[in-house]
Structure 1
Amino acid sequence: MKPRNALDWIAFVLLLVGAFSWGAFVTDVNILDRALEPIADPLDDVAFVLIAVAGLYWIIRVLGAGPKEPDR
C-alpha cells in the first residue's frame, strides 16, 4: 500500500522518522532529542506525539477503515 494523498505522505514520512529514531534509540542515541533540544525541549515530545498519531493513522488505513482505493 503506497501513499495516495498529502495526508498519507505526511504520515508516511513521520513513520520513517519514527522508525529511524527508534533504531537510534536502541543504540542509546535519541536523534530527535539531540536535533530538537537546542530549539525547544518540548518540541521532541510534540514530534513523538505526531509520530504516534501517524502510526495510528496507518494502522487504521491498512486494516481497511481508511480511504478506499479506487477500482480500476
Structure 2
Amino acid sequence: MRPTTALDWTAFALVIIGALAWGFFAFDINILDIVLEAIWDPLDNIVFALIALAGLYLLVRAFARS
C-alpha cells in the first residue's frame, strides 16, 4: 500500500515515528518521552493515542478491498 492522500501520509509518518520510538525503547533509549517531556507531559498521551490510531487506520487500509 502506498500513501496517496494527506491522511495516508500523516498516518504513515505517525506509524514511522511510533516504530522508531519502539525501536529506541528496545535499546533503552526512550527518545520520544524525552522530546515530549520538554513540551508538556499530558501531550505525550495524545501523541501515543494518535500513533495508535494511525496504526489502526493503516492496518484497515492495508486489508480493505479497494
**TM-score in terms of structure 2 length:** 0.92
> Structure 2 CA distance, aligned partners of 1:60 and 1:7?
13
Aligned residues: 66
- Identity, in percent, stands at 53
Q: Please give the residue correspondences for 1:47-62 in structure 2 after superposition, counting only pairs within 5 Å.
A: 47-62=47-62
Instruction: Determine helix, strand or coil for the equivalent of 1:38.
Output: helix
Which protein has the larger Cα radius of gyration, Structure 1 or Structure 2?
1
Alignment of 1:1-72 (within 5 A): 1-64=1-64, 68=66
Please provide the CA RMSD for this pair.
Answer: 1.0
Bigger RCO (CA 8 Å, 6+ sep): 2
Q: Which runs of 4+ in 1 moved over 2 A?
A: none
Return the structure number with greater helix share: 2
